[in-house]
Structure 1
Amino acid sequence: MRERRALGRRSFLELFGLAGVGAFADVAGATPGRSPGPKEDELLVGLSADGRRVERHARKIKRKLERKYDVTVALRHGNEALRYAAIELRDASPREEREIRKRVGKYEATKYVERNATLEALFVPNDPRFDDQYADQTVNAPTAWDTTLGDAGVTIAVIDQGVKYDHPDLDGNVAADPGYDFVDGDGDPYPDALADETHGTHVAGIAAAEVNNGEGVTGIGNSTVIAGRALDEGGTGSTSDIADAIQWAADRGADVINLSLGGSGSTSTMKNAVSYAYGNGSLVVAAAGNGYGGSVSYPAAYEECLAVSALDPDGTLAAYSNYGSEIELAAPGTNVLSTWTDDGYDSISGTSMATPVVAGVAGLTLAAWDLTNEELRGHLTATAVDVGLSASQQGSGRVDAGNAVTTRPGSGSGGDGGDGDGGNDSRTVSVSDSLYGYWDEDCWSYAWNYDDPSTVVVELGGPADADFDLYASDGTGRCPTTSSYDYRSWTTGSEESVTVDDPDVSTDLYVLVDSYSGSGDYALTVTEYA
């Protein structure tokens, strides 16, 4: 380890980026032979960025396994940007599968091995239909509409079931190129079965049904919708399809990504996908889950996601809504009226419905203010309305479109950055250095600018052909290690970010930059919010 050094005062250094969904040459994404929807017979192997393609590593793993075990390994899919391969084990006994997972985990480039878990749309059975629409009034959208009805230049990506983009109340707000179907592997995200596949259309309408068009209902604002169909007719989808859709949306330049889905535990593949999207400037809004008071589900529980709980029409927490410390905002979720696949309208309930309310408000806010995703996140939480619930139930409060649009960011009522810090000031320190191989690491210390900062964000940008990881500790007075740390970000590449809310300032912040594999220059940035 090199001698500990303090961060110097330097200008902000722009981080590097990755792009592109890749697929094996003989196995394209969602090609014939790879079943749509859940893929419970597949393993996802996260592969370190070491300058070699995912396909090359996957084929080497296949050869090793087939030589040692009497099994067939099918290479089903690969994603270069998120650095994972999906492999299917055929004719493997449970014992062999356990051994294979351990062996793959020991492969030189493997970062993780996990099942291709299944997620599902987060809604509950229909409640009786309201005669009128209440969600947009509850979040004061009409006040915002006095300033703006929205901006077609703002894009909201709906990662969900298919969207009926020719619905008469959606057709004017869906992009000319409406999206991609990751379930069937084609360029048309239209529902396969209109009678069964209603969730995506309902979610899209809550966020962005046409406002002031003399037809049906209003969405929160006139943002442009793109659809990533990642859930099948039954409302379920695989981790890999959803992760690919999130990465695709970020690469399409989505300002907001709506994830009205969840149900699986934490997976590295999904974590990497939301990190990729957030690092590329998208605000990722996710449903807390419908576990009737259970813990916040994934992906909402990831720090990169803005987690949303659901409210009943009277402003109380909906009985079905999950809650916990990860909640940042609440929104109406019960009996929300929106577009339906029969070209009409219907009311359903769930945190799935609360989430696009927040996504729609985020889009409407971007029509009024030019904000980064971090600034937007802070502004939405700073302008939320306290409805008398605990912080674990409402976060900063109920999202409020009127406040978000009419309050200047950084004015004292609206946040100017960070994860809901609501402060008006921040300080950024950046340094650059190099690591020379897998044995190398740098430890840095950071002296606090503020007596009581609300949030500190540590960002690492390294070479695309290496895998650098980020570790941090506050309040310990010592450098973290790869096995002892308070916070960690370790995707399969070198773009890492750690957010610490209410950090312990009794000692300096300590940050470790470690080379898992590869070498090259890196930029380390610490942003502290008052």
Structure 2
Amino acid sequence: MGENNTFDRRMFLRLTGLAGAAGLTGMASATPGRSPGPKEGELLVGVTGTKDVKAAIDLPAQAKMVHVNETLGYAAIEFPGKGNETARQNFADAMAKKTDVKYVEENATFESLAVPNDPRFGDQYADQMVNAPTAWDTTFGDSGVTVAVVDQGVKYDHPDLDGNMAADAGYDFVDSDSDPYPDSMADEYHGTHVAGIAAAETNNGEGVSGIGNSSIISGRALSEAGSGSTADIADAIQWAADQGADVINLSLGGGGYTNTMKNAVGYATNNGSLVVAAAGNDGQGSVSYPAAYSECLAVSALDPDESLASYSNYGSDIELAAPGTNVLSTWTDDGYNSISGTSMATPVVAGVAGLTLAAHDLTNSELRSHLKATAVDVGLPADQQGSGRVDAGNAVTTTPGSGGGGGDDGGDGGSGDSTSASASGSLAGYYDSQCYNYGFSYSAPSQVVVELDGPSSADFDLYVSDGTGTCPSTSSYDYRSWTADSQETITIDNPDTSTDLTILVDSYSGGGSYTVTITEYQ
């Protein structure tokens, strides 16, 4: 390991481009006949990006490779039938020892957690609570902004959704086909309800108002039973990012920490998407995954009186709160219905994010900071509301970085100002790493984003320690990003500024030049 380095500070403008290629680049279709929904018993094997996934995995006779995603660098392995538990464990142990394999884990299961002329707007307290009418005086939204709903299927021909669905409505990762339409209208309503909260047609003289007129794409990753596998959800997140989604809504959770899911939200973040996720409905003091990943903006749910909903999870990972109880939205019978959950609060934030992008040209990091800077303090502790209740009026009408927005009611999201620094270096091979110290510019930044841009021919990983003053290692760190390539991002809210931030760039495989960029948001 080389000696510690200090950043030379410089201001810069980073231009972020979104991938817009159609199709499922880097993703193999599931094996025909593979059952939809949860994939209990399957193992996910993550491989370094410098190796072909299939070639890196030694498959025993009892096992089948049922799915491969080259972009995220993993394969799903099935041991069919009974009595293969020992062979399955032996395989997992053997793979974990291989240098080309980064992890082996279960394929865990996640579950679905201006006044417009729309006639039922008066029944929609959520839009009014977040001051959407103030934002609508400026814009009703922009079809050039895309919100991806990774969820159950969306009834894209609903009369209050069809005008805001993208031309290519989406993809079904549960059944492996190009039609994300729900399989059961009676049971599969969650995705349609979520989509309507974020982007039902606004000011169209019909039904309800979405937060804004963004374009919707549907990644069907949860079955009609309301559950889905890590692999299906991760593939849908990658797909949404590849379609150029500005915002990805994850109203789901419950599967715990998985490397595959973290790599997926990291991939989306690195490709310019803001990933918004539900805190969970267990009423507990910790946030569920995927919302707990640093790449995701975690959302708690409020009752109509702006108190924390009894079912909402809370904790230090919460960044914003939004109305989630009895939220009226689109339903699969072409009508409307009210249901509750952090699943409902999350698309409120996603919708506000989309509406904000109709008014301001922001990167995903800048958007995240701006939403927090313009949030409204509703009198709850920070572990329940984060920076505050999201506010569409403030977000749209406040110039990013101006320091305004919340006024006397503003939360702790900061002013929105930012400063950046970068450093460049090179690593020779898998045995090499480099540590950096970063001294903060702001006394109390609301957020710091660390980005690694490394060579495509190598697999570099990023580690960060916050508040320790000592360099992290690959086994001792506060934050880690280790996707299958060398594009890594770590986001830290309210970092500890008592000591320098310490950063390790490590080569898992290969060598080459890289740049580390740090952006502080006040």
Match of 1:78 in 2: 68
Q: Is the 8 A contact 1:380 1:420 kept in 2?
A: no
2:79 matched residue in structure 1? 89
Is 1:249 the counterpart of 2:253? The answer is no
What are the within-5 Å matches in structure 2 for residues 90-239 of structure 1?
90-91=80-81, 92-122=83-113, 132-239=123-230
Q: SS at 2:338's partner residue? A: strand
Query: For 2:322 and 2:496, how far apart are their aligned partners in 1?
Result: 31
Alignment of 1:45-444 (within 5 A): 45-50=45-50, 52-58=51-57, 61-62=58-59, 65-66=60-61, 72-91=62-81, 92-122=83-113, 132-414=123-405, 421-444=413-436
Determine the structure 2 residue equivalent to 1:2.
2
Measured in 2, the distance between the counterparts of 1:411 and 1:15 equals 22
- 1:29 is the counterpart of 2:29: yes
Letter of the 1:520 counterpart? G
Query: In the alignment, which residue of structure 2 is the partner of 1:126?
Result: none
Contact 1:460–1:470, Cα closer than 8 Å, also in 2: yes
Does the aligned pair in 2 maintain the 1:469–1:491 contact within 8 Å?
Answer: yes
1:69 paired residue number: none
Contact 1:121 1:235 in 2 (8 A): yes
Q: CA deviation at 1:350?
A: 0.8
Q: What is the DSSP-based 3-state SS (H/G/I as helix, E as strand, rest coil) of the residue aligned with 1:108? A: coil
Assess, with a 3 A threshold, how the Cα gap between structure 1 residues 488 and 291 changes in structure 2: closer, same or farther.
same
* Alpha carbons of structure 1 residues 380 and 321: separation in structure 2 relative to 1, 3 Å: same
CA distance in 2, matches of 1:255, 1:267: 24
The answer on whether the counterparts of 1:471 and 1:480 sit within 8 Å (CA) in structure 2 is: yes
TM-score, normalised via structure 2 length = 0.92
Deviation by residue 1:85-135 (Cα, 9 ceiling, x = unmatched): 11111355333322221111112211000011010101xxxxxx9982211
For 2:265 and 2:151, the matched residues in 1 are separated by: 15
Paired position in structure 1 for 2:116: none
Q: Offset at 1:5?
A: 2.6
CA contact (8 A) 1:445 1:511 kept: yes
CA distance in structure 1 between the aligned counterparts of 2:304 and 2:236, rounded to whole angstroms: 32
Please give the per-residue CA displacement for 1:455-513, whole angstroms capped at 9, x wherever unaligned: 33221111223211112234434322222333322223211222333434444332221
Measure, in 2, the Cα distance between the counterparts of 1:400 and 1:254: 22
Q: Which amino acid aligns with 1:518?
A: G
Distance in structure 1 (CA, Å) of the matches to 2:122 and 2:333: 18
Q: 1:226 and 1:455 mapped to 2: Cα distance?
A: 29
Check conservation: 2:453, 2:516, Cα contact below 8 A.
yes
Cα distance in 2, alignment partners of residues 433 and 109 from structure 1 = 24
Q: What is the letter of the counterpart of residue 523 of structure 1?
A: T
For 1:85, the aligned partner's letter is: A
Shift of 1:21: 4.1
> Does structure 2 conserve the Cα–Cα contact (< 8 Å) formed by 1:144 and 1:405?
yes
Q: Deviation per CA, 1:48-78: give whole Å up to 9, x if none.
A: 112x3212223xx11xx33xxxxx2111111
SS in 1 for 2:415: coil
Q: How far apart are the structure 1 equivalents of 2:445 and 2:64? A: 50
What is the distance in 2 between the residues matched to 1:15 and 1:363? 17
Confirm or deny that 1:43 pairs with 2:33: no
Aligned residue for 2:8, secondary structure, equals: coil
Cα pair 1:163 1:227 within 8 Å, conserved = yes
Identity of aligned residues (%): 70
Shift of 1:266: 0.6
For 1:320 and 1:4, locate their aligned partners in 2 and report how far apart those are by CA, in whole Å.
Answer: 46
Instruction: Give RMSD over aligned pairs.
Output: 2.3
Query: Counterparts of 1:343 and 1:245 in 2: how far apart (Å)?
Result: 25
Equivalent position amino acid for 2:56 in 1: H
Taking the aligned partners of 2:283 and 2:442, their CA distance within structure 1 comes to 40
Q: Secondary structure at the match of 1:456?
A: strand
Secondary structure class of the residue paired with 1:41: coil
| Alpha-carbon distance in structure 2 between the residues aligned to 1:456 and 1:135 | 30
- Equivalent in the alignment of 2:484: 492
Aligned-pair CA distance for 1:296: 0.9
Q: Which one is further off, 520-529 or 493-502?
A: 493-502
Unpaired segments of 5 or more residues in structure 2? Answer: 114-119
Find the counterpart in structure 2 of residue 470 from structure 1: 462
Q: State the aligned residue count.
A: 507
Distance in 2, Cα, partners of 1:30 & 1:155: 26
